[in-house]
Structure 1
Amino acid sequence: MSDGDTSTAANPPRRIRRLRGGLSIQSKLLIMLLAVSLASSVVVGVIGFISGRDSLRDSAIEQLTTIRELRSTAIENEFAAIQRGVLLDSRNDSAIEGATAFVNAFAELQATELSPEAAQTLDSYYSDSFVPALEARSGLDYDPSAFLPASPAGRYLQSLYTAGRAYDDYDAGLALVDAGDDSAWTRANIQYGPYFTGLVDTLDYEDVLLLDTDANVVFSAYKSVDLGVNMQEEPYASSALTGAYEEVMRNGSLDEVVTTDFERYLPSLNVPTAWVVSPIGSATEIIGALAIQVPIDQINRVMTGDERWAQQGLGETGEVYLAGQDELMRSTSRLLSEDPEQYEKTVVENGTPVGVAERIVAVNGTVQLQPVDDFAVKEALKGRTGTALAAEYTDPNSLVAYAPLDIAGLNWVIVAHIDQDEAFAPVNVFTRNLLLSTLGILIAVSLLSLALAQIFTRPVHRLVGAVHRVAEGDLDVQVPQGSRDEFGDLGSAFNDMASSLRIKQELIEEQQRENEKLLLTLMPESVAAKYKQGEEAITEAHENVSVVFAELVGFDDLARGMPAEQEIALLNTLMRGFDEAAEKAGVEKVRTLRGGYLASSGLTVPRVDNIRRAVDFARNLRAVIERFNAQNGTQIGLRAGVDTGTVTSGLVARTSLAYDLWGDAVSLAYRVRSVTGEPGIYVSQTVRDRTQELVTYAEAGTVETQGRTETVWKVV
């Protein structure tokens, strides 16, 4: 029977080891279900992801390409309409008759001289009004005399039509018809001026100029600083307008139309300006040229879609812009229009020079200022059309669609772009939804597989967790005892074990706290730490330590015949008072005797004023005795000795612990206390010398120490 019992007891450990070395049926089933579910979900997910991602990406690219094509067609049609309009307007009978009248009237004014007052007014206009504004706008310096028309006719017209108003009051110039001088030019302006100014009002042109065959500006709709100037003279000789004028006059064809790129035009305060120029005349004679200033606002309206970017499929970050051969923008930036402050920060972060960004924000325009020397513009300038993921001036990762433009006379390109994150946001949403769906399937299968296994293993898991917590020191743990089977019995046994361990641990901890408290009453914390570490010889040498040796006088007489309990109670009262005085004075108690008290200052905590503290402590002890006598009607006295110097502290014995302090300072403190046999506070010569300015002393006698006589002083 004994052998059979041994075999039965030995078998379970071997079965447990086999279970731990392999997988349970539940684990295998769980792994199989998860593997099948994961494999099927991954296959379906990958196929759906690739198909959906490519479809959504293609849709985003196609949408951006469509927007680019629509804007390309719109801007090309816009310029074609302006060019056709200028060509038709230059052939109009009213335009020919009006141009002829203005040319002839301008020629008549060449013999007119300005009065000194009119000349002064014109000079003041340039020096005080126009040139300061131009310098402020451009950041450059200009000579006012350079802008004065060279011809008498030009100066005459500007003195009447230009100098009499603010430089930026263009509406006033447009409305000014009759200057009241009854000159041929004024009569021509009364008759034909409304036709040309009507082109500005109805077609939204920025300005309309008429030039004669000598390049004189004989008419300006706004009658600004270019009225009456010669475009072949400085400062206009090298301008794009002059080049276009010379080209149409040189070709000699009435069907000629020349369009200029944007260029900073001085009469418009250095604002970028583009022109469309066509000759005016009959089949037999060309009398001059009609120059239309291209409306930049109209270009921006076309490119921004009237600033309805989001509604037109460009989201929060998309836009379409124009760029020239110099890789600078020819239309306004969306971000600048919506948030100038954010625009400056963004473009600087993406490579635009700080000075350029500040200038753009200051003038509120990006034409011929904002660099767009990125991949899309470079490719389009090479005549290529396409899409790509590339950097843009507002974002290093953008979806771009680019193409060259077909505008006669201009080498411009068009770029549509949108931040890659926004363009492919549907792809990201689709990917996230697919991953979440796959994860949901896996979780559902996992939960279903785990449900039954958890029913059987839940009690074991609870018990294992409780054992781990006990191992970590948590002895308050208890496991539920819900089932009435072997698991319930095992839980009950575990709870009994945990309760027993908790009770024993509490007893041990309580004993440790009492031992710690007792140890700290016998010695300083530093010595106690060494003692607990098992050191055999624990001693410490201390320099510059003051020692107070105090003893009670008359306590034995008081306690004689007194019950032991009462004697101890009185003694405890005195010792508590001494302890409080020690704490207040900042001194350390070394040990307490039945009739005495040994303390030090500067022993465990070095103090520069340890002597003063020791004397103050001794005086405080005297005050404690006096209060005790007053409260109990006794006449106990105090003899205390104080000295300072080098001492040694340590444990005197290890089997019966006794922390003590010894050395010359302790010996002398002990001896000086009894120099007269009377109660009082007695100090050595060294203590007296160091505290005589703070305490009043009287000589009390002498003691012999180490072969010399030491004078003893008493605190008065």
Structure 2
Amino acid sequence: MLLGVSLVSSIIVGVIGFMSGRESLKAAAIDQLTTIRELRTGELERVMEGVQTGVALDSRNLSAQTASKAFNAGWAELQDVELTAEEEAELQEFYDEGFIPRLEEATGEDFASGGFVPDSSAGRYLQLHYTAPFDGDYDAAHAVMDAGDGSAWSAARARFHDYFQRIVAASDYEDVLLLDTSGNVVYSAYGGVDLGTNVLDGPYENSLLAGAYRDAIASNTVNTAITTDYERYQPSLGVPSLWIVSPVGNDTTITGALAYQIPMSIVNDALTGDERWKEQGLGDTGEIFVVGRDRLMRSISRMLVEHPDDYVTAVTSNGTPPNVAERIVEVGGTVLLQPIDSISVERALEGATGTNESIGYTGTDGITAYTPVEIDGVDWVAVARIDTSEAFAPVDVFTRNLVISTLAILLAVSLLSMVLAQVFTRPVRRLSDAVRRVAGGDLSVQVPAGSRDEFGDLGNAFNDMSSSLRIKQELIDEQRDENERLLHTLMPETVAKRYRDGEETIAEVHQDVSVIFAELVGFDDYAATLDDEEELAQLNTLMRSFDEAAERAGVEKVRTLRNGYLASSGLIVPRVDNVRRAVDFAVELRSVISRFNAQHEASLELRAGVSSGSVTSGLVGRTSLAYDLWGDAVNLAYRVRGVTGSPGIYVSQAVKDRMLEGARIVSAGTIETASGDETVWRVE
């Protein structure tokens, strides 16, 4: 109690100071984070607006217009050129042995070999001369000015390719495409597999590039610049690509469209300040990233850049699927991979701007500042965050000083409290020791309950509980033994153990097992003279006699049917004489039926089949379990049983070959098996 009073007094003083300091520091950290968010988001918006404006300007300058017309004319001329069979095979080989294996390795998906080859003659011609020869070496393809084939298209490339090379070099674009008004890609700076395809009905008709092309052409103005979100672009081996598309032409005529493939570095550099997070005031853990409507990142993660070895563990602890996290580390990027499902993203996607505290995608607590991003064509939000531990580090210093100042006061009171605690906790320790013994299985334990206070009442209650648990445990043990006996009547002990262990699919393959399929002939006619109770009693009498015969012969019963009996020899206990035992058991069943007929004036007969080979045993069903046997040997035993339709004991060729000499057997017919006709033998 003394300790409690001292603690409460110190805690009240500490909490007041702690909360005051925390709120001040929190406000300062949030203000700084908000400022950084506005700066970086504004920088991204300005950069993207500049790129959009640049694409629109490039698409209507004279060089682009002239190039578009020249490439369109060259394309039209190539439409009349047919490739030879050898050239078609060479182009198909490029896809089958080059591009498609690289695409499947990069994406982990399977692709059809014929789905990428352009349909048009011009497209196949251009890929044969400007794509296939370089087999994925895009820098080498980019450096070629003229394939030397003498075509008008190659002449246009020799004239204008340098112009587009300088555009790519100046802005570090991933690719530059020219498309005609029919959707054909008539030029690619890097000679990718999209060269010569049609974005309206070709292999990439469902891409965001195709949608942006449609919107750009439909706008009918060269001032339009349509921006797409990131997509996994197959010609770039599934690397996320962002496109800006603008019509090519002037105020009177549009001859096509110009498409720039924007590198991810433009977005990343604008947000990260060229990966100089600390210099921007984000400390060791702060960052700013953008997220799309699908809740996936559109920029690089700071942790992935600085601590790739810890990335998988960090993000998977907060719900990112392990295969996604490993893929992120493998490709070295988070765009369209890292999910961000936080309240900050949700609010920003709703159009809100604000701050909050939440758990980040790396699993750490942090403060965040969020806002929508104003870029035409994309639906992104920006989130700036920093770990709470770093943002509020000064609070830890303040808290440490406060704790040290109160320790001296608490020390003296604590010593006195420890002495008093011994007096109060002695009965509790006795109860604690008794509880541990009960937990260890000793249900006979009792504790002294001599005092007449609350501890005495607790001791009496514990003793009553211990006695009750002991009685209940005895009842449970009895019920468990009964259940165990019942389970062993339904299935072998080994199967029962696997069932108790929780296995859902239980099946075992057994080699060299003899199977007996016995059928009662005439029981239905005999049962017609009996009432239901008598019929069941007579059938039980027969089945018990069958069970006793199986036990004497060392045969395992599998299951009982109304007019039949399925058993095996060598299934549970492997036996070298399983064939002899199986045949002896069938003979014994015939004797059992004969005795039954004599006792009850019946005329029942036995029709049995014996086979040997591989079988499978296991549990069948889900809500109503049954132990069963199946396989070739079971099927064969069933089939040889009915080879003539007459009563008797019939064995397969495999059984006959292993029977002892001197047994009286005769041929009973043949049956057709997978390996041919097989003779069936009858045991006399």
| TM > 0.5 | yes
Pick aligned residue for 1:109 from 78, 88, 100: 78
The answer to whether the Cα contact below 8 Å between 1:210 and 1:218 also exists between their aligned partners in 2 is yes
Cα shift at 1:232: 1.0
Whole-angstrom distance in 1 between the partners of 2:33 and 2:119: 53
TM-score by length of 2: 0.57
* Equivalent position of 2:153 in the other structure: 185
The answer to whether the Cα contact below 8 Å between 1:303 and 1:320 also exists between their aligned partners in 2 is yes
Pick aligned residue for 1:146 from 83, 104, 115: 115
TM-score by length of 1: 0.55
Whole-angstrom distance in 2 between the partners of 1:378 and 1:318: 20
Pick aligned residue for 2:377 from 409, 434, 454: 409
The answer to whether the Cα contact below 8 Å between 2:18 and 2:395 also exists between their aligned partners in 1 is no
Letter in 1 for 2:258: L
Pick aligned residue for 1:267 from 235, 239, 244: 235
Greater C-alpha Rg: 1
**After superposition, where does 1:64-75 map in structure 2 within 5 Å?**
64-75=33-44
Deviations 1:60-85 (A, max 9, x none): 11111111111111111111011001
1:390 aligns with 2:358: yes
Pick aligned residue for 1:156 from 110, 122, 125: 125
Whole-angstrom distance in 2 between the partners of 1:138 and 1:129: 15
The answer to whether the Cα contact below 8 Å between 1:122 and 1:163 also exists between their aligned partners in 2 is yes
Cα shift at 1:439: 6.0
Cα shift at 1:435: 4.1
The answer to whether the Cα contact below 8 Å between 2:208 and 2:231 also exists between their aligned partners in 1 is yes
Deviations 1:23-80 (A, max 9, x none): xxxxxxxx9xxx99x98x9998766544432221111111111111111111111110
Q: 1:145 to 1:46 in 2, by over 3 A?
A: closer
1:247 aligns with 2:243: no
The answer to whether the Cα contact below 8 Å between 1:57 and 1:427 also exists between their aligned partners in 2 is no
Letter in 2 for 1:82: V
* Equivalent position of 1:28 in the other structure: none
1:433 aligns with 2:401: yes
* Equivalent position of 1:119 in the other structure: 88
* Equivalent position of 1:130 in the other structure: 99
Whole-angstrom distance in 1 between the partners of 2:289 and 2:260: 23
Whole-angstrom distance in 2 between the partners of 1:122 and 1:332: 37
Cα shift at 1:396: 4.4
**After superposition, where does 1:271-286 map in structure 2 within 5 Å?**
271-286=239-254
Whole-angstrom distance in 2 between the partners of 1:166 and 1:319: 39
Cα shift at 1:86: 0.3
* Equivalent position of 1:297 in the other structure: 265
Whole-angstrom distance in 2 between the partners of 1:53 and 1:243: 51
Q: Secondary structure at the match of 2:368?
A: strand
The answer to whether the Cα contact below 8 Å between 1:375 and 1:391 also exists between their aligned partners in 2 is no
* Equivalent position of 1:599 in the other structure: none
Pick aligned residue for 1:60 from 2, 6, 29: 29
The answer to whether the Cα contact below 8 Å between 1:276 and 1:293 also exists between their aligned partners in 2 is yes
Whole-angstrom distance in 1 between the partners of 2:11 and 2:151: 90
1:228 aligns with 2:228: no
* Equivalent position of 1:93 in the other structure: 62
Cα shift at 1:434: 4.2
Whole-angstrom distance in 1 between the partners of 2:45 and 2:148: 44
Q: 1:136 to 1:42 in 2, by over 3 A?
A: closer
The answer to whether the Cα contact below 8 Å between 1:45 and 1:438 also exists between their aligned partners in 2 is no
1:80 aligns with 2:49: yes
Whole-angstrom distance in 2 between the partners of 1:121 and 1:81: 43
Q: Secondary structure at the match of 1:219?
A: strand
Q: Secondary structure at the match of 1:245?
A: helix
* Equivalent position of 1:310 in the other structure: 278
* Equivalent position of 2:337 in the other structure: 369
Pick aligned residue for 1:175 from 110, 121, 143: 143
The answer to whether the Cα contact below 8 Å between 1:248 and 1:277 also exists between their aligned partners in 2 is yes
Pick aligned residue for 1:287 from 255, 266, 287: 255
Whole-angstrom distance in 2 between the partners of 1:374 and 1:120: 52
Aligned length in residues = 410
Whole-angstrom distance in 1 between the partners of 2:401 and 2:143: 64
**After superposition, where does 1:432-471 map in structure 2 within 5 Å?**
432-436=400-404
* Equivalent position of 1:199 in the other structure: 167
Letter in 2 for 1:348: T
Whole-angstrom distance in 2 between the partners of 1:298 and 1:410: 15
Which deviates the most, 88-97 or 46-55?
46-55
Cα shift at 1:430: 2.5
Deviations 1:165-193 (A, max 9, x none): 131x2211211111111211111111111
Whole-angstrom distance in 2 between the partners of 1:78 and 1:173: 29
Q: Secondary structure at the match of 1:144?
A: coil
Q: Secondary structure at the match of 1:215?
A: coil
Letter in 1 for 2:27: D
Cα shift at 1:134: 0.4
Cα shift at 1:117: 3.1
Q: 1:42 to 1:124 in 2, by over 3 A?
A: closer
Letter in 2 for 1:341: D
* Equivalent position of 1:166 in the other structure: 135
* Equivalent position of 2:313 in the other structure: 345
Whole-angstrom distance in 2 between the partners of 1:130 and 1:405: 36
Q: 1:193 to 1:252 in 2, by over 3 A?
A: same
Whole-angstrom distance in 1 between the partners of 2:45 and 2:367: 23
Letter in 1 for 2:109: L
Letter in 1 for 2:270: V
The answer to whether the Cα contact below 8 Å between 1:377 and 1:413 also exists between their aligned partners in 2 is yes
Pick aligned residue for 1:323 from 262, 276, 291: 291
* Equivalent position of 1:356 in the other structure: 324
Q: Secondary structure at the match of 2:58?
A: helix
The answer to whether the Cα contact below 8 Å between 1:402 and 1:413 also exists between their aligned partners in 2 is yes
Whole-angstrom distance in 1 between the partners of 2:248 and 2:267: 26
Q: Secondary structure at the match of 1:395?
A: coil
Cα shift at 1:400: 1.1
The answer to whether the Cα contact below 8 Å between 1:395 and 1:419 also exists between their aligned partners in 2 is no
Deviations 1:479-518 (A, max 9, x none): xxxxxxxxxxxxxxxxxxxxxxxxxxxxxxxxxxxxxxxx
Q: Secondary structure at the match of 1:276?
A: strand
The answer to whether the Cα contact below 8 Å between 2:179 and 2:258 also exists between their aligned partners in 1 is yes
Letter in 2 for 1:195: Y
Cα shift at 1:312: 2.0
* Equivalent position of 1:418 in the other structure: 386
**After superposition, where does 1:524-603 map in structure 2 within 5 Å?**
none
Cα shift at 1:201: 0.5
* Equivalent position of 2:181 in the other structure: 213
Letter in 1 for 2:252: T
Letter in 1 for 2:71: F
Whole-angstrom distance in 2 between the partners of 1:443 and 1:149: 83
Q: 1:43 to 1:353 in 2, by over 3 A?
A: closer
Which deviates the most, 138-147 or 324-333?
138-147
Whole-angstrom distance in 2 between the partners of 1:77 and 1:437: 53
Segments of 5+ residues of structure 1 without an aligned counterpart are 1-30, 447-716
Cα shift at 1:380: 0.5
Which deviates the most, 68-77 or 335-344?
335-344
